[in-house]
Amino acid sequence: MHSTKIIKTKEEFKKFVDDFYQNRNKPKCFGVCRANISRINKNEVISVNFPHLNFDANIGSFAVFASVADIESFENELIVDINAPFVFRALCIFYPFIVEELSNYVSKCDKTSQVLEQFKNLCEKFSVDPYSIKTADVLFTNSTICQYIGKKHKNIQVVFELLRHISDIYKGENEFYKFQLVAFFNDEKTQSLQIAYAKLHALSAGYAPLRSLNLDGIFGLLPNLAWSGNKPYELQYLRDNEVTLKMEDEFPNIDFIDKFPRYLMQVLPQADNIRILDTSKTRFGAFLGAGYTQMPGASYVNFNSGALGACMNEGRISSSVVVGEGTDIGGGASILGVLSGGNTTPISIGKNCLLGANSVTGISLGDACIVDAGVSILSGSIVKICKEEAQKIAKVNNNFQIQDNELYKGYMLSGLNGMHFRITSQDSKLIAFRSSKEITLNKDLH
């Protein structure tokens, strides 16, 4: 491993980054992840978790990571195991930012500390011999320091956390986990489990809008796992070792079996007023906007779907469904997705809509729409709208075409604003009319 020059100033760092990208593309997404290793095949990763994901951001940090990993050229997907020199050389290149934050730490939190000089001296050693330090005990295992530095530079905090695991990284033979640098440059069809997790994380964290990333083929990349807490187990491993694990009282308490972890196992809600009353009902890759409330029972949110703001959900938001702010989804109400059942057009529900209990919505709705309890409105449904109501609807929807026979297919009404769908009590026919009811959520609940 060759020596590393310490970058002493921010000006030098900027030149380093500019030089790096002279003949290289910038990544779309990258991050350091903790990768869980298969208990059956030690060369296989079965799940990952990103402590911090960069999406269209922090390209200087990627220049550091790629350089210290000795990566000269990139394909679209990049997955590299992290070793000890990676960690120490990253500290040397991030040097001016670390010195700045350590100086602030010393002046505000620990005026008697020798940590700044200790860091400078050790970087001198690292730059010459990245194997000169063998244990995590010699440098900044204090979690307060790591958290203080992370206030400005999350990627530097990640490097310091790697330093806390340096003993395991040196050995490189931990049977349960390892750390990897993961990146992709263009949003093409996903080829690896690590990139699948990165894309799902980007959606759940709100870095990428729902339905904006190519998720084709990810089901085939994710193994079906038994999850105990946040730990994945392969089903075949549990079968092969069932007797031993149970005799030793080490058989895991299995919470669920799925290809996807749960939302709260990978990301924190973006706002303090998001409520999820049953963690099993939101899949990783869903997005929940500020003020969202998910009640237990029939509620569910699949991956690549979710709500853009305050929303009451007691129903099912299927894959690729996007729900607008202020909408109330009643108990057992279903919004059709695109994974199965023949529906191939992603559905959007507008703002301030009401989907009644046990209703089924298979077309997009504009703003201020109502689907009564028990009503099914599908693409092929026949809906009667009298001419008087059709004229009212046309006033708020320029693209609405009034039919002389007063009959409409469901797809002809997709995306219209101010629609109210109901079943008549006399003859059980599906009708629609201009909604006059204002839908408002209880502000105290959101």
Residue 206 backbone zone (phi > 0: left; psi -120 to 50: alpha; other: beta) = left
Residue with tokens 């046309």: 394
For residue 408, the cross-strand partners are 383
Residues in the chain: 446
Q: What share of the chain is helix, strand, coil (3-state, %, to 5)?
A: 30, 20, 50
- Report how far residue 209's alpha carbon sits from residue 202's, in angstroms, rounded to the nearest whole number: 9
Sheet with 382-384, side-by-side order of all strands: 275-276, 292-294, 311-313, 328-329, 354-355, 370-371, 419-423, 430-434, 382-384, 407-409
Active site residue 124: no
3-state SS, one letter per residue, for 202-265: HHHCCCCCCCCCCCCCHHHHCCCEEEECCEEEEHHHHHHCHHHHHHCCCCCCCCEEECCCEHHH
Residue 386 backbone zone (phi > 0: left; psi -120 to 50: alpha; other: beta) = beta
- Report how far residue 339's alpha carbon sits from residue 331's, in angstroms, rounded to the nearest whole number: 22
CB 82 within 8 A of CB 166: no
- Report how far residue 46's alpha carbon sits from residue 193's, in angstroms, rounded to the nearest whole number: 8
Q: 276: number of CA atoms within 13 Å, CB side?
A: 25
The dihedral over CA atoms of 100, 104, 107, 108, expressed in degrees to the nearest 10, equals: -170
| CB-count burial class (<10 Å; 0-12, 13-18, 19+) for 158 | buried
Residue 77 backbone zone (phi > 0: left; psi -120 to 50: alpha; other: beta) = beta
C-alpha distance across the termini of the chain, in Å: 55
Three-state DSSP at 446 gives coil
Q: Which residues have a Cβ under 8 Å from the Cβ of 299 and sit 6 or more positions away?
A: 278, 281, 313, 314, 315, 316, 329
Which residue from 73, 89, 77 is spatially nearest to 30, judged by alpha carbons? 77
Q: Which of 161, 234, 314, 325 is catalytic?
A: 314
CB 292 within 8 A of CB 313: yes
Q: Give the residue numbers marked as catalytic.
A: 314
